[in-house]
Structure 1
């Protein structure tokens, strides 16, 4: 992990796009572990998209039902995880991939960057899976890799990213 904010702040420069965090190759058991972890360890807001009523606990039973639904007729719900002044949204797009997103405007300091890394590291630990942070919908180009089991946290510097893009 780099400790120089000047080398990595480019990842969070606002450009109109979100930053995504992915956990790939998950199963329903991973979803259960994640939801139980979030409900126990974080401030969460859970509710229907566009609805003002929010619940402070994720309904695991509904989530499992939703992820297994093939009709596409169930109401879409969203989870917002609150970490100080950062909001991490959790989406239920796929049963085999967990996707979070963050607004890069909220990662404006090294302290906030560390909060995101801490969150990613804890999720990696409880799921025993690596996580990646990417530009919006850019799974193939990870900007940050976190793998608790391998004790690795790798954040690309702008120079490293430019070399990969060539």
Structure 2
């Protein structure tokens, strides 16, 4: 992929970009968290806004809606926020203002690809709260693709 062809997807517009991994269960969540613990990233876990230790078993976090939980994953200047909204879906988000060059976009694509490979799952990046409009998609055995849907919405070709 060529930066000039897709950089419009990361132009700041006041919204975030969401990353989704669908059709997961607690065992997939645990594999995801174990994988994240093993990568070179700064991890911060918050319960109701208070920094605390990430539990070894993620099941209690994923199934509980008692408190707002947030895991921030720092990847070379890019913060990926992991939300624990649903047990059957992993939802993360990034701020497009942090993706201002091809190198940073490649960090996001590398993260999506590595997570997808480890989980053997499709990983999509979408506009905020628009999971039905994937912009980029990682497919196991295929790799990452720019789906170009937003190029037309933004008025470019």
Question: TM-score, normalised on structure 2?
Answer: 0.89
> Quick one: distance in 2 between partners of 1:161 and 1:130?
24
Question: What do the CA deviations read for 1:12-55 (whole angstroms, capped 9, x no partner)?
Answer: 1111100000000001110010000111113211122422x354
* Structure 1: stretches of 5+ with no match in the other structure: none
Question: What do the CA deviations read for 1:51-103 (whole angstroms, capped 9, x no partner)?
Answer: 2x354xx3132x3113223xx4x222210000011000000000000000000
Number of aligned pairs?
A: 153
Contact between 2:73 and 2:80, CA under 8 Å: does it hold in 1? Answer: yes
Question: TM-score, normalised on structure 1?
Answer: 0.85
* Structure 2: stretches of 5+ with no match in the other structure: none
What is the CA RMSD across the aligned residues, in angstroms? 1.9
Contact between 1:8 and 1:158, CA under 8 Å: does it hold in 2? Answer: no
Displacement of 1:5 in angstroms is: 1.1
Structure 2 residue 116 is the aligned partner of structure 1 residue 118: no
Higher helix proportion: 1
> Quick one: distance in 1 between partners of 2:86 and 2:19?
14
Structure 2 residue 16 is the aligned partner of structure 1 residue 21: no
Tell me the equivalent position of 1:11.
Answer: 9
Displacement of 1:161 in angstroms is: 4.0
Structure 2 residue 146 is the aligned partner of structure 1 residue 155: yes
